[in-house]
Amino acid sequence: MLNACATVPLTGRTSLHLLPDSELLTLSLEQYQTVLKEAKLSNDPQQVQKVKRVGARIAQATADLLREKGLEAEIQNYKWEFNLIDDPKVVNAWCMPGGKVAVYTGILPVAGDETGLAVVMGHEIAHAIAKHGNERMSEGLLVQLGGVGLSVALGTQPGATRDLFMQAYGVTTGVGFLLPHSRLQESEADHIGLVLMARAGYDPRKAIPFWERMNEKGGSRPPEFLSTHPAPESRIANIKALIPEAMRYYQPK
């Protein structure tokens, strides 16, 4: 149990990760390739390049943050990939372990520009480097599959285990429901995401209008990005309180 404890970068929270990174990275690569084969990738070169450009800047900021926090060994686990999935009905984005990122075209109108997209991608990559998915996957294995290890679960209940993985990382394809992030994880992702986008040269103050637009988009049936990422009214107030810290890292590029 002691070996399973890890510290979340920036916030310093101690969290429990029962699953080895090596197993999650292997499963991540496998599932990411499956999603890409089943999805329709965007053929809009400008939008695709925008996703890749913003992703590369956030990825560099992530490496800088991990290095600064003494977690340089973690950097080698990230083999970044950024893909834009053509599905205007899906307002979502996610990041699997190892930096496997997907953005759906449905979220682009809400993002608006590159800075809005940096809010989205910074937030999702923050979940990944904080290893929130490991926490949720661990809880899911304990509750749904009897607490067995990942390799055993894959051997005995491969379909259920893969669905649990997709739920834990907010992937909508082929999954009936998603495991919600806790308010604590959401607060951490907002915090880390603001710092990442600021370090990447995007104005963190633009996160406020993005979340306002996202809340307006929700209506009576919130999009996937809100159903898996609860957005109470207090969220924007919390983000406003975090802006001064993020601004210390912001230098326009």
Q: Which range of residues forms the domain containing residue 69?
A: 5-247
Answer positive or negative: Cα dihedral of 138, 142, 148, 153: negative
Residues 150-168 have pLDDT tens digits of: 556 556 666 666 766 677 6
Domain total in the chain: 1
Say what the pTM is: 0.82
Domain assignment present for residue 28? The answer is yes
Domain assignment present for residue 206? The answer is yes
Domain assignment present for residue 253? The answer is no
Terminal Cα distance for the chain, rounded: 43
> Tens-of-pLDDT digits for all 253 residues of the chain?
334 566 777 777 776 666 777 888 888 899 899 999 999 999 999 999 999 999 999 999 999 999 999 989 999 999 999 999 999 998 889 999 899 999 999 999 999 999 999 999 999 999 999 988 877 777 666 656 555 555 565 566 666 667 666 776 777 543 334 445 567 788 899 999 999 999 999 999 999 999 888 888 755 445 555 544 545 577 888 999 999 999 999 998 8
Which residues does the annotation mark as catalytic? 124
Exposure string over 166-181, b if 16+ CB within 10 A, otherwise e = bbbbbbbbebeebbeb
Range 246-249, long-range pairs (CB < 8 A, 24+ positions): 246/194, 246/195, 246/197, 246/198, 246/204, 247/198, 247/204, 247/205, 248/198, 249/195, 249/198, 249/199
Range 14-17, long-range pairs (CB < 8 A, 24+ positions): 15/130, 15/131, 15/135, 16/135, 16/138, 17/131, 17/134, 17/135, 17/138
Domain assignment present for residue 252? The answer is no
Domain assignment present for residue 185? The answer is yes
pLDDT at 177: 40
